[in-house]
A and B are shown apart, each in its own frame.
Chain A
Amino acid sequence: MTGIKSAKLGIHFTPEHVHCVAVDASGSYLFGQTTAKTGGSAPALDHALGVVLERLDAACIAALNLVLDGSIKDLGTEELSRVCIVRVMPSDRPAAQPLAAWPPRLASRVRGPVIHLGGGHDFRGDEMRELDEDRLRRFAAGCRNDVTTVAITAVGSTGNADHERRTADILREELGRELSVAVAHEQGGVGFLRRENTAILNAALMDGHRRQLDRLAEVVDRYCPRGLMHVAHRDGTVLSQPASQREPLMALGAQITHAAHGARRLSAKAQAHVAVCYADNVHVVMADGVDGHPEQEVTDDPVRLTAESPSIISTPWHELLYLRSSALHRTLAGSELPVIVCGPEADRLLAQADALGWAARIHNSDALTIDPSLFAALGAATSYASGTVERTVDFERQDREFLIAEIVSLARRRAILAGADVSCLKIDPVRITPLGYTPGQGARVRARAHGPLLIPSRNLS
């Protein structure tokens, strides 16, 4: 294929195949291909890129966005590390122990040394109790040869993350710079337990994820010396390698949102629900902001997390026709937006559309004639990068404009680290949710920046 100056690849790994889609600089579909997956992801990528480069000049590939296979539900325990869990809280007697609501097998695989450490801040960022550094150092000394991964969660870290950061610094001093650390404030979310669960899972996955990405990056470098590798995030965006290494959890289950993104892009319907049909489930990815439930989060994850993902309603096939009172039916019934059907089992859902009462709403134009299995790869190829920051603040005591500007600035930095081009960054309207149960003018502020990927210039080569 000649005349292409810049192209991006979306590469979707499934258990049996590697789906690959190439788009040009404007995001227009160039071609798609599917190769068999034998062995691990790195050899599969090696094989897939070898085939792609028969059709495309390696020098024109500016980005390779990978959708990794796997989901939280199917999480295998063999790739998980034992995690040292550090809780920083003002109370010496926690109401709930870490991993309390986790599936026992998963919890026992992940649980490492646990410490409840004095410290923490209130929602405004005021210190509630001094960080007990001496105890932390004694604890670290006691598990020096036993810990490679740590998850740190501090009370009030959405208002002030100093104790989480200080704890991480001390542990790195005591246990070495190579220590893998997941700090909860980077995952956002107001709920302490959800934030902690997310941090623990991220920590457990971190080493395995890093090794996997290193292997994949080696293959990418070999074939595409100028191509930047990104990893699909379950919120429908992509992350640079170092950013993804901090949030491995978010790489799981990303295929659904990316398939929805690909379908919307191909059908030119930005506001549409997308039903992604796989062999076991139908996943309906709701259009953002639908029906006044922008934060509605319906998921079948076994652990309650603070994953920033669009609203996805996953329903097994056998329940689809019979659960007419389900959230899926209720949500779709109240919406006028079209529904796009895609995925390997798309035909199966289309056949049932009449029975479901969705037939009139189905929007599947001729543009959707590409292999339904390629939609996740297509979505990844055209994805943006984003950064989201969520903090609790008290506007009564802190300058409102300054606080918002600071949070927006942090979101911008996160988006840039995720791979967004700083010159094209856009900021979503900042969401400010009053916290009615707090004194003063407590609020939860959420800022999100997003933009197209930073890509290398060909002029330099």
Chain B
Amino acid sequence: MTRPGAASTSSIARLLESGLLAEPEVVAGHLGLARSVLAVTRCERDRSIDDLGPGTLGVLFANDADLTSLEVESAIRTASGAGLSGLLFLVNNPDDIPHTTRRLADKLGFPIIVATAQSEYDVLDELDHFVRSPSLRIVSRLHRYLWSVSRGSNDIARVLAALSDVIDGPAAIVDAEGRLMHGDVDLPDYVLESLRQPVATPTTVDGTDALFALAPLPFRDAHDTLWLVASTHASWGVHRDLVASALAVTVWPVVGQFLQRQLDERRENNERSLIFADLLEHPEAPPRHVVEHAATARWRLFGWHRILAVSLVDADGNLISPQETQSGIAAALRRLARSGELIERAEGWFLWWTSNVKPTPAELSAGVARARQELQTATESLAARSVRIAVGVSNTAQGAVGLRDMVNEAENSCLLARAGREALSIEGSDSSDARRFLTGYYASTTLRDLATRITEPLIEHDPRGDLRRTLISFLDNQSSTTRTARDLGLHRNTVQQRLLKVSDALSLDLDDPKDRLAIHLALHLSEGSSSP
């Protein structure tokens, strides 16, 4: 694996590898292919050759020399004596160079290259940039590339085609497993290994006869890294730099395309959410535009509805809006919603399934199990940021009114789930009535603020949170100091000492059942800010 940017001195051999010459053929002087090349200049006639500096590759076009004549012999002698690196003949129909001329070049170790003529000034510029200032060449090629990309749409296929053209090889977008998303590149196993690096960074990988360049698309979630990959002919410094630079430039229009798609999707989601809200507001007599949309979107309002309300809660207990979420949870929700609808709401998402017949309890249980399985995959990345998933599951009901009821039921269940401490909390409509009693309690912002104020002294006395953890454990363990000490891995005396400090800080009597209930509820309500 080689870091991009390592430049080397140009030589005839490297010039031949560059791909700048069409059908190059070394007709003589192979021993001199390692000669350094410092500049590439046209020779008008062979008499001007000795005016060129040492290290120059002299270029003669069809009009400048007759390959079969003694002029070529004379040119070789002049160029070799003047210290030129070699002679390049750009001709459309290369005649046979005489044997004596080839022999001379072979003996002098002076390379003679014949290539098909192209647009002469472009070729001269390209070759000269290549040897004189590799960075200039890169800038020149990139400039041309950007110009071509900027002229049309940023369609990913078109951008990849332009990239392929500039690097002289195929390009594609793949995921971390090497699955092709756009374009087509054949990636060997050793390149796939590089896609799985812990920290995604641009890199190049040398194959036996190919160079692979990889650049991650700069999305924040490393677990879902997409790669822009390209394959080109095995090459050295300058071409390698060009490939790496072209990839670095290309990731931005590609990312732009992805962002554009997300924006389109979000706009569509918002529109759908508004219509859904209208539907819930007027379930008995939905507005006409809602009915029209429901029809075109195949919303079967008359069917049996089941709702999953999903919210994300951060470490402070605050809800995270869907716009701020990462692709991991979004992808899991999209997978879950394949047979239903995914609708954004202020507090998260609704997943909505409709069926023509009433689902059986077993089908409902299977649905919940599947939701747990899918969402569990997203918890790992969310846990790293102390974000939990709260899911409320509704029962099932028929018609538009039933839909509204199921939405309410799922929202209430989700509210209960938000009080949980697990990375993924799922509450269903079958939760006990006693717990349902808490729903209203959790929903009160006033009570929540009050609970935070009540428990604040604990944090002021002990910013590390030891007192708070000890108190929660003590209350959860039915006021048993022995079990609290065991759970926390502390000595019982330590627990007792901490509880004394808690009583002092909160001015509570923990032997009083009312005080214990009050502080237990307050802690649960403010649990978000104190959860370990």
Interface-facing stretch out of A192-200, A290-298, A418-426: A418-426
A242 to B68, CA, bound (A): 12
Identify A422's interface contact among B50, B68, B73, B100, CB under 8 A: B50
B-facing residues in A446-461 (Cβ within 8 Å): 454, 456-457, 460-461
CB of A456 within 8 A of CB of B81, answer no
CB closest chain-A residue, reference B31: A460
CB closest chain-A residue, reference B77: A416
A227 to B100, CA, bound (A): 13
Q: A328 at the A/B interface (Cβ < 8 Å)?
A: no
Q: B328 at the A/B interface (Cβ < 8 Å)?
A: no
Q: A111 at the A/B interface (Cβ < 8 Å)?
A: no
- With a CB–CB cut-off of 8 A, which chain B residues contact A409? 47
Q: A33 at the A/B interface (Cβ < 8 Å)?
A: no
Given known A-B contacts A241-B100, A460-B109, A422 and B81 have beta carbons under 8 A apart: yes
CB of B107 within 8 A of CB of A456, answer yes
A-facing residues in B59-116 (Cβ within 8 Å): 68, 70, 73-74, 77-78, 80-83, 100-101, 103-104, 107-109
Given known A-B contacts A226-B107, A228-B107, A461 and B31 have beta carbons under 8 A apart: yes
CB of A228 within 8 A of CB of B104, answer yes
B-facing residues in A185-235 (Cβ within 8 Å): 217, 221, 225-228
Given known A-B contacts A242-B70, A417-B70, A422-B77, A456 and B109 have beta carbons under 8 A apart: yes
CB closest chain-B residue, reference A385: B77
CB closest chain-B residue, reference A451: B81
**Max chain A C-beta neighbours (<10 A), residue from B77, B104, B108:** B77
CB of A417 within 8 A of CB of B73, answer yes
Identify A225's interface contact among B70, B83, B107, CB under 8 A: B107
Q: Mark interface residues in A402-429 (1 if CB within 8 Å of B CB, else 0).
A: 0000000100010011011111100000
CB of B108 within 8 A of CB of A454, answer yes
A421 to B77, CA, bound (A): 7
Which secondary structure dominates where chain B touches chain A?
helix
Chain A min CB distance to B80 (Å)? 6
Chain A min CB distance to B55 (Å)? 14
Chain A min CB distance to B325 (Å)? 66
Number of interface residues of A (CB under 8 A): 27
- With a CB–CB cut-off of 8 A, which chain B residues contact A422? 50, 77-78, 81-82
Given known A-B contacts A242-B70, A421-B81, A422-B81, A457 and B103 have beta carbons under 8 A apart: no
Q: Mark interface residues in A232-252 (1 if CB within 8 Å of B CB, else 0).
A: 000000001111001000000
Chain B min CB distance to A78 (Å)? 25
CB of B73 within 8 A of CB of A242, answer yes
CB closest chain-A residue, reference B74: A417
CB closest chain-A residue, reference B101: A242
CB of B109 within 8 A of CB of A461, answer yes
- With a CB–CB cut-off of 8 A, which chain B residues contact A228? 104, 107-108
- With a CB–CB cut-off of 8 A, which chain B residues contact A424? 81
B-facing residues in A66-113 (Cβ within 8 Å): none
Chain A min CB distance to B269 (Å)? 70
CB of B82 within 8 A of CB of A423, answer yes
CB closest chain-A residue, reference B83: A423
Given known A-B contacts A241-B100, A242-B70, A242-B100, A423 and B107 have beta carbons under 8 A apart: no
A422 to B80, CA, bound (A): 8
- With a CB–CB cut-off of 8 A, which chain B residues contact A420? 81
A419 to B104, CA, bound (A): 11
- What are 21 of the A-B contact pairs (CB < 8 Å)? A177-B68, A221-B103, A228-B104, A241-B100, A242-B73, A246-B70, A413-B46, A413-B74, A416-B81, A417-B74, A422-B77, A422-B82, A423-B81, A423-B82, A454-B80, A454-B81, A456-B109, A457-B109, A460-B32, A460-B109, A461-B31
List 17 other contacts, CB 8 Å, given A228-B108, A413-B74. Answer: A177-B68, A217-B100, A225-B107, A240-B77, A242-B73, A409-B47, A413-B47, A416-B77, A416-B81, A417-B70, A417-B77, A421-B81, A423-B81, A424-B81, A456-B107, A456-B109, A461-B31
Binding site for A on B (CB under 8 A): 31-32, 46-47, 50, 68, 70, 73-74, 77-78, 80-83, 100-101, 103-104, 107-109
Q: Which 6 A-B pairs have the closest CB atoms?
A: A460-B109, A422-B81, A421-B81, A460-B31, A417-B74, A454-B81
